[in-house]
Amino acid sequence: MLTLPEIGLYFSFLLFLVGLAGVMFRKNILFMMVSVEILLNAANLAFVSASKITGTIDGQVVMFFVMAVAACEAAVGLALIIALYRTKASIEADDLKALRG
Amino acid sequence: MEGTVGVVTQFLDSNIGLVAALGKIALALVIALQVAPIMVWVERRQAAFIQRRIGPNRVGLFGFKLFGLGQPLADTIKLLFKEDFVPKQANKFFYILAPIVTAVIGLVAIQGIPLAKEIVVGGHTINMQPVNLNAGFLYLFAMSALGVYGVALAGWSSNNKYALLGGLRASAQMISYEIAMGLALLPMVFIYGTLDLQTMIAAQSDSLLFGVLPNWGIFLSPISFVIFVITMFAETNRLPFDLAEGEAELVAGFLVEYGSMRWSLFFLGEYAMMFTLSALTTCVFLGGYEIPWLSQTELVALLTPIFSAEPATWVASLIGLTVLLAKTAIFMFLFVQARFTLPRFRYDQLMRVGWVYLLPLALVNVVVLALIVGIMRLT
Amino acid sequence: MTASINPYFPILIAFVLGLLIAGGATAASFLLGPKKPNPAKLDVYECGVPVVGTARQRLSVKFYLTAILFILFDIETVFLYLWAVLFDELRWFGIIEVGLFVGTLVVGYIYILRRGALNWD
Amino acid sequence: MDLNFIAFVVMGLAATILSGVMITRRWPVSAAMVLIAVMTLLAGMFGLLEAHFAAAAQIIVYAGAIMVVFVFVMMLLNLPPEELRYGGVTWGEMVLISLGVLVAIVLGTQVGQGLLTQGLESMGYAPGQTPAHAKSLYFAADENVKNVAATMFVDYLWAFELVSFLILAAVIGSIVIAKKRSAENANAA
């Protein structure tokens, strides 16, 4: 029988798949960012499960750094969305082709 | 008959953890549910006294007037029978969800408060903190962090200009003061060296300055206490920080489209949160359920000759709970008194107080106390 | 089961009970109250005068700046709590470390003040 | 089959299903609210894995701070759902996606199990025993917090200090990007 942290790893895999689908299929940048949060959460779950499996605390510590990165990503990403909406009046990824080569 | 008693005793004995958990949760829930009606009555009477009116004094119970104590009951029944409609422009699901979120968070948060020390029943020691995580601080912080969403959801889902602006203002205010709140409590963690509220309260039963003062947090870190009390008012959206429902500009803020029982659920949650934060202040700064100069352990030792060993802990815990409620009542009274005596802040003043004065003050307080404690303890 | 149960269990119970109480109150008021809707009652409440515009309009970016500052300082607070529980073990090493950490953030805070991101007028 | 196990599996399934619900919402605010529920469930799972501080931080930082910013931005921009071009996924694509997910799950569980065991063995881990180099773990909540703190402030000292610079850069960056130029201040709401 599987132990709790091993199931946790499987769930983190599933969550990652769902988040990836969100990033791939939504055309709206806001939704893409929310899906990225799910990806990061899935990674956190994997870190915590691994920490329990290996009996070391490092996974939980790394989780805090992931959290700090997620916070900074959210702050800068949402600032970009606000600036984009101000200039383009749209936050659809398809409308932002100005930089396409 | 004897067999039934035996079965019950055996069941209680083998499932003591579960039964005790349910009992503690029920006790905390009863307290949380009683706070709102009693506080509404106190608030109306107190307002009347301050404004030289009489206030509600008519509704009694069973023919006795009792200073109008029946009023909250009558109010509840009235609210229950009022029309309960969803405005047509509202986002129906979230409109219904928002008051439930507020009420549930209030009722769950109160479970983190240690109600008394511990009681001994049939040889089992039962800790009287419903959610006994050994990290009570973090639990209460997590719950108060989630408290923002009830307000934000109510404002957004009502689809009303006043409600949206009120909800945004209220949530911006709550998050602004949350930082100062966290930093105000930080020194208490390193002074007492624990995140567990009960260990912290036990440490406060010692005395300070050769027994003159109890070892309360308020004497060890008075600035933390002042900051915490101010942020407590802001966190619960009470005057002088009730910009969210400043009726002069926003009608009733995020509550504008709410009525009947949904409206009262917001107040249930708000009063439960007020009680939780007041009780947290009591536990961290005023010794919680400990009586000054007489710790619970001493009390149990004093009571043991009068009662036998186990009932002594029950009586001591009852006294402890009363002491906790009495100390908390001081803060609840302060909330009411402030509401009817202080004017409201302007929104820019409110943000200024939070970010420009309280946050740096809290940071400086942490640094200074860290240096003092470091010098006293580490050299 | 012994006297010690999983410490998260009471949270679950309290959550379920709270949901029952709040949901029950909502349902009771829904079932007991009268239902006489009319268009004026269901309309947006703006003190009785006809509604002007819609609530779905853009608002000031100030709220967003406040929220940004909040997450950054919130993370700082969480890291500081980690230090506070280990104050005695880390000794002066910890105080200096955290001093550097807080010092860096104070630079950011001063920048925010100078840029006027907290001016609400 | 103990209570912890059932609770863990139920919470994991609920989190997965809710995140699936989340990516198909039309209102941004409802997506954010569902995500908050997912994060709270994850916090519960962390708690059952005895990572108490991680559970608390998950709620305080993720659900209580990062999501607040998302909700604020959604409320500020006030995007009506009609403006979103709903990422049109047809039924055929849906079938393909589910097939892909199924294959991925099978591969992940089969190959992943092998990789996991291999990786753990290379770290000196055998099922049911703690590796020799692992630090001792205390699983009381108070001790868990101390453990995390000790590891962070000793082993991850540089990362910890660098986080402060990361936060500093994020503060300055987001304010530079989001704050209006003074000329535009006239039409501030």
Q: What are the tens digits of pLDDT across the range C71-82?
A: 888 888 888 988
As a whole number, mean pLDDT of residues B191-219 equals: 80
Nearest chain A residue to C68 by CA distance is A75
- For residue D122, is pLDDT > 80? no
How long is chain A?
101
Per-residue model confidence (pLDDT) at position B65? 67
Minimal CA separation from C23 to chain A, in Å:
29
**Chains with 3 or more CB pairs closer than 8 angstroms to D?**
A, B, C
Average pLDDT, chain C: 79
| Count of domains forming chain C | 1
Per-residue model confidence (pLDDT) at position D136? 47
- For residue D40, is pLDDT > 50? yes
d(CA B101, CA B269): 9
Structure confidence at residue A94 as a pLDDT band (50, 70, 90): low
Max Cα-Cα span within chain A: 56
Per-residue model confidence (pLDDT) at position C3? 46
As a whole number, mean pLDDT of residues B77-105 equals: 83
Structure confidence at residue C120 as a pLDDT band (50, 70, 90): low
How big is the CA angle at D87 (ends D81 and D93), to the nearest 5 degrees?
145
CB contact under 8 A, A82 and D87: no
Cβ–Cβ contact D8 with C under 8 A: no
Minimal CA separation from B97 to chain C, in Å:
9
Whether B321 contacts B129, CB under 8 Å: no
Residue B113, classed as helix, strand or coil, is coil
- For residue D88, is pLDDT > 60? no
Per-residue model confidence (pLDDT) at position A55? 76
State whether ipTM is beyond 0.85.
yes
Cβ–Cβ contact C81 with A under 8 A: no
Q: Who contacts B311 (Cβ-Cβ below 8 Å, separation ≥6)?
A: none
Give pLDDT tens digits for B116-141: 887 887 777 777 888 877 777 888 88
As a whole number, mean pLDDT of residues C34-56 equals: 69
Percent of chain B predicted with pLDDT > 70 = 94
Structure confidence at residue C57 as a pLDDT band (50, 70, 90): low
The DSSP symbol for B239 reads T
- Chain D residues in contact with C90 by the CB 8 A cut-off are 149, 153
Give pLDDT tens digits for A16-65: 888 888 888 777 788 888 899 999 999 999 999 888 887 778 888 899 99
Cβ–Cβ contact A93 with D under 8 A: no
Per DSSP, the residues of C58-97 read ---THHHHHHHHHHHHHHHHHHHHHHHHTHHHHHHHHHHH
Cβ–Cβ contact A92 with D under 8 A: yes
As a whole number, mean pLDDT of residues B108-113 equals: 89
As a whole number, mean pLDDT of residues D93-120 equals: 74
CB contact under 8 A, D65 and C12: no
Nearest chain B residue to C78 by CA distance is B182
Nearest chain D residue to C75 by CA distance is D61
d(CA B65, CA B58): 6
Per-residue model confidence (pLDDT) at position A101? 55
* Contact B/C (≥3 CB pairs under 8 Å): yes
As a whole number, mean pLDDT of residues C94-118 equals: 85
Nearest chain C residue to A67 by CA distance is C75
Per-residue model confidence (pLDDT) at position A42? 93
- For residue D167, is pLDDT > 70? yes
User: C76: domain CATH number?
Assistant: 1.20.58.1610
Per-residue model confidence (pLDDT) at position B105? 92
CB contact under 8 A, D174 and A78: yes
Q: Which of A78-87, B189-198, D133-142 has the lowest mean pLDDT?
A: D133-142
Minimal CA separation from D5 to chain B, in Å:
18
Cβ–Cβ contact A32 with D under 8 A: no
Cβ–Cβ contact D75 with B under 8 A: yes
Per-residue model confidence (pLDDT) at position D174? 87
As a whole number, mean pLDDT of residues B263-288 equals: 88
Query: For residue B120, what is the enclosing H or E element?
Result: strand B118-121
Percent of chain C predicted with pLDDT > 90 = 2
* Contact A/B (≥3 CB pairs under 8 Å): no
Task: Say how many CA atoms lie within 13 Å of A49 toward its Cβ.
Answer: 24
Per-residue model confidence (pLDDT) at position D139? 45
* C1 in a structural domain: no
- For residue B232, is pLDDT > 60? yes
Cβ–Cβ contact C86 with A under 8 A: no
Per-residue model confidence (pLDDT) at position D187? 46
Of these ranges, A16-25, C39-48, D100-109, the one predicted with the greatest mean pLDDT is A16-25
Nearest chain D residue to B97 by CA distance is D33
- CATH for A4-89 is 1.10.287.3510
Range of the domain at C107: 9-36+57-115
Cβ–Cβ contact A71 with C under 8 A: yes
Per DSSP, the residues of C100-116 read HHHHHHHHHHHHHHHHT
CB contact under 8 A, D76 and C61: yes
Give pLDDT tens digits for B334-350: 888 888 888 887 778 88
Nearest chain C residue to D56 by CA distance is C78
CB contact under 8 A, C64 and A75: no
Average pLDDT, chain D: 77
d(CA B298, CA B263): 46
- For residue C117, is pLDDT > 80? no
- For residue B282, is pLDDT > 70? yes
Minimal CA separation from D8 to chain B, in Å:
18
Per-residue model confidence (pLDDT) at position D130? 52
Residue B344 burial by Cβ neighbours in a 10 Å radius (0-12, 13-18, 19+)? middle
As a whole number, mean pLDDT of residues B214-231 equals: 87
Q: Which of B193-207, B282-296, C105-119, D118-132 has the lowest mean pLDDT?
A: D118-132
- Chain B residues in contact with D76 by the CB 8 A cut-off are 168
Structure confidence at residue D125 as a pLDDT band (50, 70, 90): low
Q: Which of B6-10, D59-63, D130-134 has the lowest mean pLDDT?
A: D130-134
- For residue D186, is pLDDT > 50? no
Nearest chain C residue to B28 by CA distance is C14
CB contact under 8 A, A37 and D89: no
Give pLDDT tens digits for B235-256: 887 777 776 666 666 666 777 7
Residue C117, classed as helix, strand or coil, is coil
Q: Which one of A41, A52, A75 has the shortest CB-CB distance to D69?
A: A75
d(CA B143, CA B141): 5
Rounded alpha-carbon distances, angstroms, from residue C37 to B84, B85, B119, C23, C41: 10, 7, 54, 22, 6
* C105 in a structural domain: yes
Whether B284 contacts B200, CB under 8 Å: yes
Structure confidence at residue B227 as a pLDDT band (50, 70, 90): very high
Q: Which of D68, D69, D144, D147 to mutate to test the interface with B (most CBs of B within 10 A)?
A: D68
- Chain A residues in contact with D9 by the CB 8 A cut-off are 7
Minimal CA separation from C71 to chain A, in Å:
7
Structure confidence at residue D188 as a pLDDT band (50, 70, 90): very low
Q: How many helices (H) and strands (E) does chain D have?
A: 7, 0
Assign residue C58 a region: left if phi > 0, alpha if psi is -120 to 50, beta otherwise?
beta
As a whole number, mean pLDDT of residues C91-107 equals: 87
- Chain A residues in contact with D116 by the CB 8 A cut-off are 6, 9
- Chain B residues in contact with D171 by the CB 8 A cut-off are none
On whether the D1-80 domain is CATH 3.30.1330.10, my answer is no
Cβ–Cβ contact D148 with C under 8 A: yes
As a whole number, mean pLDDT of residues B105-111 equals: 90
As a whole number, mean pLDDT of residues A5-9 equals: 84
Minimal CA separation from A18 to chain C, in Å:
26
